């Protein structure tokens, strides 16, 4: 499935992670090529969020290997990892209540050149511009999601980790987020997307990995989605 | 001169001024406690001892280096702030994930060590520290006599408090602090060195205590237990204002100083307890404090 010789931007190998005593990831292996949108599918509790957190370095204990541009991330703290050009949009969105929308948007520091300018971000999410001085958490769920995505586009990060960006949102907003992901892909961003909604994922993803009980149990390309639908319904229990 | 309820304006405004002075110290100290608690989740029980260290540093600078008040007000917060940074790196950083109780016990222990050591060397009778020449004397405002130094303390501490508020609530650096108070993990995952920010925040909070100590030196004496007496009242102020609110700490600090002063005029018997009575009432009605967000 990988074109031979392509060097992955992100290569995860034998990744294990723990929350205290509880062993959650049991050797996760996958990779993401520069410019791809790759989706992690899987039921609730499969370990998708933990995988993103482990890449970002915010899980208590992790072992195995996570390489970004060939550089080993295991052992680095999350601020160092962010400065290499990886940014997380967390599942709970993480909008700060004590910051207004503008402060939330400008919070993540620039880590590299080449981030989107503010006016580009406002073009993607016009709602944000109208509400710059509102308290961050006064926004609607959809607007908070746009803010959570928008703020990591400025930083120059090239790999975006998006954790269920459509969860709990209205269909129009899901569509807007889908378009945004498409635009970002055109602009050369690489995206690792966690989704339970594979209908949505199929509109943006190049490839899929399926997780269960802290392991990758299957993988296929977008073109193979139809052929894998039965299996997928089984995996996701839908 | 005029009279109000049979009390001369001189006595009334005199007590109000004393209230404002006390309020200045309450505000500076509770502000430092609020900043520290917000970022470190630690109730800094050594705050009173660090205030005392500020006053002693001013005293040492004068005795051993010939550096007067204006040097002290600049240097003592830096020196004591650096000791705070060392304490944070050596001890406090290991406690953030534990219950508040551990931080409280550790800083309480440190306070006992500092105060005990200084009592051992300097006894408990205070050492004098004189008002800087530029601020000696006073002026007659018509309704009262205002000693220049006391006027300076009120104005300068108000300025320091409001500047701190401005930096935290209105600047980019402040937005990092507020965000890290809410969700340090995420702020760090954006590439910000949160542990360093926490260390510097503790250093800053401690420096505020030391600054208050320097300002207090010419008014009260410099003595090992000067902070221990004050800090109990300051904790009551913090409880009334609500932990973690910056403006709350400032307003409550000055407000309670004034209330205490008024009580001295109208009902002197209660002047030492009025703050604790207010604290009890606030705890019953609004446990999170007047400005606190209930968790
Ligand atoms: N903070 C945590 N502490 C302990 N266990 C956790 C924590 N977060 C998640 N888990 C457990 O780890 C497993 C994987 O969770 P998660 O990665 O959130 O799954 P997903 O994102 O696929 O729904 C689940 O069994 C969950 O209960
Ligand atoms: Mg999840």
DSSP string, A19-70: ETTEEEEEEEEEEEETT-EEEEEE-TTSSHHHHHHHHHT-SSEEEEEEEETT
**Residues forming beta bridges with residue A193, ordered by sequence position:** A39, A162
Q: Is A57 on the interface with B (CB under 8 A)?
A: yes
DSSP state of A135: B
**What separation in Å is there between the alpha carbon of B74 and the centre of ligand 1?**
50
Among the partner residues A58, A98, A106, nearest to B189 by beta-carbon distance: A58
B206 in any annotated domain: yes
Domain match, B276 and B193 both: no
At B275 the three-state DSSP class reads helix
Q: Is A102 on the interface with B (CB under 8 A)?
A: no
Q: Is the CB of A24 under 6 A from ligand 1?
A: yes
A1 in any annotated domain: no
The answer to whether the beta carbons of residues A72 and A177 sit under 8 Å apart is: no
B32 in any annotated domain: yes
The answer to whether the beta carbons of residues B53 and B114 sit under 8 Å apart is: yes
**ipTM score:** 0.94
pLDDT confidence of A237, banded at 50, 70, 90? confident
Q: Is the CB of A196 under 6 A from ligand 1?
A: no
B108 in any annotated domain: yes
At A74 the three-state DSSP class reads coil
**Residues forming beta bridges with residue A28, ordered by sequence position:** A15
Query: Whole-model pTM?
Result: 0.92
A3 in any annotated domain: no
A161 in any annotated domain: yes
Token couple for A113: 């050149």
- Chain B hits for A97, CB-CB cut-off 8 Å, are 182
pLDDT of residue B141: 86
Domain match, B201 and B294 both: no
Lowest mean pLDDT among A107-111, A193-197, B109-113: A193-197
As a whole number of Å, the CA-based R_g of chain B is: 19
Among the partner residues A97, A107, A155, nearest to B175 by beta-carbon distance: A107
pLDDT of residue A145: 97
B240 in any annotated domain: yes
Mean pLDDT in runs of 10 for chain B (295 residues)? 69 90 96 92 95 98 97 98 98 91 95 96 92 93 89 97 96 96 96 97 98 97 93 93 87 96 91 93 92 68
Asked if B183's CB is within 8 angstroms of A82's CB, the reply is no
At B248 the three-state DSSP class reads helix
Domain tally, chain A: 1
pLDDT of residue B97: 85
Ligand nearest to the CA of A43: 1
Checking if the pLDDT of A129 tops 90, the result is: yes
Question: Hey, of B97, B179, B294, which one would you mutate to test binding to chain A, going by the most A CBs within 10 A of its CB?
Answer: B179
Strands A61-68 and A71-72: antiparallel
Burial of B173 (0-12, 13-18, 19+ CB in 10 A): exposed
Asked if B189's CB is within 8 angstroms of A82's CB, the reply is yes
**What separation in Å is there between the alpha carbon of A214 and the centre of ligand 1?**
9
**What separation in Å is there between the alpha carbon of A49 and the centre of ligand 2?**
4
Asked if B190's CB is within 8 angstroms of A82's CB, the reply is yes
pLDDT digits (tens, 9 = 90+) for A47-104: 999 999 999 999 989 999 999 999 999 999 999 999 999 999 999 999 999 999 999 9
B127 in any annotated domain: no
Domain match, B206 and B237 both: no
Ligand nearest to the CA of A210: 1
HSE of A136, CA atoms in CB hemisphere, 13 A: 25
B204 in any annotated domain: yes
Domain match, B178 and B291 both: no
Among the partner residues B175, B182, B191, nearest to A82 by beta-carbon distance: B191
Domain match, B113 and B252 both: no
Asked if A103's CB is within 8 angstroms of B190's CB, the reply is no
Domain match, B245 and B193 both: no
- Sign of the four-CA dihedral B227, B228, B233, B238: positive
- Chain B hits for A79, CB-CB cut-off 8 Å, are 188-194
Ligand nearest to the CA of A18: 1
Q: Within 10 Å of residue B275's Cβ, how many Cβ atoms?
A: 25
CB proximity under 8 Å: A 60-89 to B: 77-79, 81-83, 87-88
Domain match, B202 and B289 both: no
* Residue of A15, A16, A21, A24 to test ligand 1 pocket, by largest number of atoms within 8 Å of CB: A24
Which candidate, B14, B24, B34, places its Cα nearest to that of B159?
B24
Domain match, B57 and B201 both: yes
Query: A174 vs chain B: nearest CA distance in angstroms?
Result: 24
B15 in any annotated domain: no
B66 in any annotated domain: yes
The answer to whether the beta carbons of residues A150 and A125 sit under 8 Å apart is: yes
Q: Is the CB of A133 under 6 A from ligand 1?
A: no
pLDDT of residue A3: 52
Burial code (b: 16+ CB inside 10 Å, e: under 16) for A200-215 equals bbbebbbbbbbbbebe
Last residue of a domain, one of B154, B189, B218: B218
The answer to whether the beta carbons of residues B244 and B290 sit under 8 Å apart is: no
Lowest mean pLDDT among A14-23, A148-157, B190-199, B240-249: B240-249
pLDDT confidence of A1, banded at 50, 70, 90? very low
CB-defined contacts A:B, below 8 A = 58
Q: Which atom of ligand 1 is nearest to the CA of A44?
A: 23
Q: For residues B174 and B204, what is the distance between their CA atoms, to the nearest angstrom? A: 13
Q: For residues B169 and A185, what is the distance between their CA atoms, to the nearest angstrom? A: 37
Question: Residue A76 sits in a domain of what CATH number?
Answer: 3.40.50.300
Q: Taking residues A216-221, what's their average pLDDT?
A: 95
Q: What is the dihedral of CA B287, B244, A79, A55, to 10 degrees?
A: 10
DSSP state of A206: S
Q: Is the CB of A98 under 6 A from ligand 1?
A: no
Asked if A98's CB is within 8 angstroms of B191's CB, the reply is no
Domain match, B194 and B82 both: yes
pLDDT of residue A100: 97
Token couple for B116: 């005990």
**Residues forming beta bridges with residue A146, ordered by sequence position:** none
Asked if B185's CB is within 8 angstroms of A79's CB, the reply is no
Q: Is the CB of A236 under 6 A from ligand 1?
A: no
The answer to whether the beta carbons of residues A49 and A194 sit under 8 Å apart is: yes
Last residue of a domain, one of B184, B218, B252: B218
As a whole number of Å, the CA-based R_g of chain A is: 17
The answer to whether the beta carbons of residues B261 and B150 sit under 8 Å apart is: no
Q: For residues B30 and B49, what is the distance between their CA atoms, to the nearest angstrom? A: 14
Q: For residues B10 and B17, what is the distance between their CA atoms, to the nearest angstrom? A: 10
Closest residue, chain A, to B193 (C-alpha): A79
The answer to whether the beta carbons of residues A74 and A63 sit under 8 Å apart is: yes
Domain match, B241 and B274 both: yes
Q: Is the CB of A115 under 6 A from ligand 1?
A: no
Domain tally, chain B: 2
pLDDT of residue A6: 67
Asked if A109's CB is within 8 angstroms of B192's CB, the reply is yes
Token couple for B244: 């973690």
Burial of A175 (0-12, 13-18, 19+ CB in 10 A): middle
A185 in any annotated domain: yes
Q: How far is CA B277 from the centre of its chain?
A: 21
Last residue of a domain, one of B218, B244, B271: B218
Token couple for A202: 């199929």
Q: Mean pLDDT score of chain A, rounded to an integer? A: 94
Domain extent at residue B292: 227-295
Domain extent at residue A100: 8-236
Token couple for B290: 């007047």
B88 Cβ partners below 8 Å, 6+ apart?
Answer: B40, B198, B199, B202, B203
Question: Hey, of A55, A78, A162, which one would you mutate to test binding to chain B, going by the most B CBs within 10 A of its CB?
Answer: A78
Domain match, B277 and B198 both: no
Q: For residues A194 and B294, what is the distance between their CA atoms, to the nearest angstrom? A: 34
Q: Which atom of ligand 1 is nearest to the CA of A53?
A: 17
CB proximity under 8 Å: A 141-200 to B: 152, 155
DSSP notation for A71-110: EE-TT--HHHHHHTTEEEE-TT----TTSBHHHHHH-SPP
**What separation in Å is there between the alpha carbon of B211 and the centre of ligand 1?**
47
Q: For residues B292 and A154, what is the distance between their CA atoms, to the nearest angstrom? A: 34
A2 in any annotated domain: no
Q: Which atom of ligand 1 is nearest to the CA of A50?
A: 17
pLDDT digits (tens, 9 = 90+) for A207-216: 999 999 999 9
- Separate counts of helices (H) and strands (E) for chain B: 11, 4
């Amino acid at each position: 499935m990988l074109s031979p010789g392509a060097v992955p931007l992100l290569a995860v190998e034998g990744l294990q992670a723990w929350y205290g005593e509880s062993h959650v990831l049991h050797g996760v292996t996958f990779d993401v090529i520069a410019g791809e949108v790759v989706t992690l599918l899987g039921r609730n509790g499969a370990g998708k969020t933990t995988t993103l957190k482990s890449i970002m370095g915010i899980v208590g204990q992790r072992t195995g290997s996570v390489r970004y541009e060939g550089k080993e991330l295991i052992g680095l703290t999350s601020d160092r990892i962010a400065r290499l050009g990886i940014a997380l949009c967390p599942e709970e969105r993480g909008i700060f209540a004590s910051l207004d929308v503008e402060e939330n948007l400008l919070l993540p520091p620039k880590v590299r050149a080449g981030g989107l300018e503010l006016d580009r971000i406002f073009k993607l999410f016009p709602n944000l511009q109208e509400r710059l001085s509102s308290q961050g958490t006064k926004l609607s769920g959809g607007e908070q999601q746009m803010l959570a995505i928008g703020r990591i586009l400025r930083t120059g990060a090239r790999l975006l980790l998006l954790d269920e960006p459509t969860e709990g949102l209205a269909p129009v907003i899901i569509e807007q987020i889908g378009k945004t992901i498409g635009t970002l892909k055109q602009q050369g961003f690489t995206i690792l997307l966690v989704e339970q909604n594979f209908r949505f994922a199929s509109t943006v993803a190049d490839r899929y990995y399926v997780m269960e009980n802290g392991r990758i149990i299957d993988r296929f390309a977008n073109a193979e989605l139809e052929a894998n639908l039965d299996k997928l319904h089984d995996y996701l229990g839908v | 001169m005029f009279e109000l309820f049979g009390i001369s304006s001189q006595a009334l405004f005199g007590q109000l001024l004393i209230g404002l002075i006390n309020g200045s110290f309450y505000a500076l100290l509770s502000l430092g406690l609020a900043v520290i608690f917000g970022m470190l989740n630690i109730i800094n029980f050594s705050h009173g001892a660090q205030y005392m260290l500020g006053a002693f540093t001013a005293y040492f600078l004068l005795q051993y280096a010939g550096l007067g008040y204006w040097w002290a007000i600049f240097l003592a917060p830096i020196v004591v702030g650096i000791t705070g940074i060392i304490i944070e790196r050596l001890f406090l950083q290991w406690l953030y994930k534990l219950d508040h109780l551990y931080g409280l016990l550790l800083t309480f222990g440190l306070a006992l060590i500092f105060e005990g050591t200084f009592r051992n060397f300097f006894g408990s009778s205070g050492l004098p520290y004189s008002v800087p020449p530029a601020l000696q004397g006073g002026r007659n405002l018509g309704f009262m006599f205002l000693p220049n130094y006391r006027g300076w303390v009120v104005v300068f501490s108000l300025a320091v408090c409001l500047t701190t508020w401005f930096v935290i609530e209105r600047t980019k650096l402040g937005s990092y602090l507020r965000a890290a108070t809410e969700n340090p993990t995420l702020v760090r995952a954006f590439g910000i060195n949160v542990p360093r920010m926490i260390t510097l925040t503790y250093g800053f909070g401690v420096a505020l205590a030391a600054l208050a100590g320097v300002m207090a030196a010419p008014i009260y004496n410099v003595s090992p237990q000067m902070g221990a007496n004050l800090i109990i009242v300051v904790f009551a102020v913090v409880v009334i204002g609500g932990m973690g609110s910056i403006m709350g700490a400032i307003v409550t600090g000055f407000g309670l100083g004034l209330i205490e002063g008024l009580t001295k005029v109208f009902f002197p018997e209660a002047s030492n307890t009025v703050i604790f009575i207010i604290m009890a009432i606030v705890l019953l009605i609004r446990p999170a404090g007047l400005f606190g967000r209930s968790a």
